[in-house]
A = this chain, B = another copy of it.
Amino acid sequence: MSSSDAVPGGGGGTEAATGRPPIREALVAAAFRLFLERGYEQTTVDDIVALAGVGRRSFFRYFPSKEDVVFPDHERCLADMTAFLARSAEDDEPVRRVCDAARMVLRMYAENPAFSVQRYRLTKQVPGLRAYELSVVWHYERALAAYLRGRFAARRDGILRADVVAAAVVAAHNNALRSWLRSDGQGDAGAAVDHALGHVQSVFGSAQVPPAGEQTEDVVVVVSRRGAPLWRVVQEIETTLGAR
């Protein structure tokens, strides 16, 4: 894995291919080459712009600080996620919707496995970057929670449930993402995240809206105290079946 593979967006590198300006791409590539060669703390913004062949002002046009060049796509991803949630329909099942929003983060990582794995190793080594990453994750979680708070507004404990579900979705997503990063980006990240998010959906998702493209599991659930006489339980089932 050479450091030249590690430009976000992969092979292309031109604005047409990635939708991002080539100077920005060059700065990220130069920064990561230096971080890997010398270490993060030992690399200055001056070193980065010298290697990229641009001026200092170009760096700060794209990145407020050296930390931001480590996470070049999070701001765009957070904006995309917020826009995705804002254009939700009334009949979108809310937990499924935030799971789909979380998958946008996974896609950003999976777009360029080599870069993502390098960054993961760097972040583990540099406490300042770890703190930055926690703040990034917190912003994603708050975006999910804000959408869910709206959707659960009429529910008892709606705000509480929104916060809990958002945290659960982020934890499940990161559990799968980190396993994939620890395995050096081998294996199917998408399948791992789908499995993890499926776990959260099975716990919190409402059955009102069946998952698109899947067979409806037409199920009756009867809950009864053990003490209830059998005839009452049967009556309850008949009533439920009759209400189809």
Q: Please report A residues at the B interface, Cβ cutoff 8 Å.
A: 130-132, 134-135, 138, 157, 159-161, 163-164, 166-168, 170-172, 174-176, 196, 199-200, 203-204, 217-227, 230, 233-234, 237-238, 241, 244
Is A219 a contact of B230 with CB atoms below 8 Å?
no
Nearest B residue (CB) for A162: B175
Q: Which of B134, B171, B225 contacts A219, CB < 8 Å? A: B225
Main DSSP-derived SS at the A contact region: helix
Q: Which residues of B contact A171 (CB under 8 A)?
A: 163-164, 166-168
Is A224 a contact of B230 with CB atoms below 8 Å?
no
Pairs of residues from A and B, 10 with the lowest C-beta to C-beta distance, nearest first: A167-B171, A167-B167, A218-B226, A134-B134, A163-B175, A163-B171, A222-B222, A164-B168, A131-B131, A164-B171
Q: Which residues of B contact A157 (CB under 8 A)?
A: 199
CB distance from A49 to the nearest CB of B (A): 26
CB distance from A182 to the nearest CB of B (A): 12
CB distance from A129 to the nearest CB of B (A): 11
Is B164 a contact of A172 with CB atoms below 8 Å?
yes
Is A226 a contact of B238 with CB atoms below 8 Å?
no
Is A159 a contact of B175 with CB atoms below 8 Å?
yes
CB distance from A207 to the nearest CB of B (A): 11
Q: Which residues of B contact A196 (CB under 8 A)?
A: 160
Q: Which residues of B contact A230 (CB under 8 A)?
A: 234, 237-238, 241
Is A199 a contact of B161 with CB atoms below 8 Å?
yes
Q: Which residues of B contact A204 (CB under 8 A)?
A: 203
Nearest B residue (CB) for A167: B171
Q: What would be 18 A-B contacts, judged by CB atoms less than 8 Å apart?
A: A131-B132, A131-B134, A160-B176, A164-B168, A164-B172, A164-B199, A164-B203, A217-B225, A220-B223, A220-B224, A221-B221, A221-B222, A221-B223, A222-B224, A222-B233, A222-B237, A233-B237, A234-B237
In the assembled complex, the Cα of A130 lies from the Cα of B130 at a distance in Å of: 14
Is A223 a contact of B227 with CB atoms below 8 Å?
no
Q: Which residues of B contact A200 (CB under 8 A)?
A: 164
In the assembled complex, the Cα of A170 lies from the Cα of B130 at a distance in Å of: 19
In the assembled complex, the Cα of A230 lies from the Cα of B238 at a distance in Å of: 8
CB distance from A17 to the nearest CB of B (A): 35
In the assembled complex, the Cα of A134 lies from the Cα of B168 at a distance in Å of: 16
Q: Which residues of B contact A241 (CB under 8 A)?
A: 226, 230
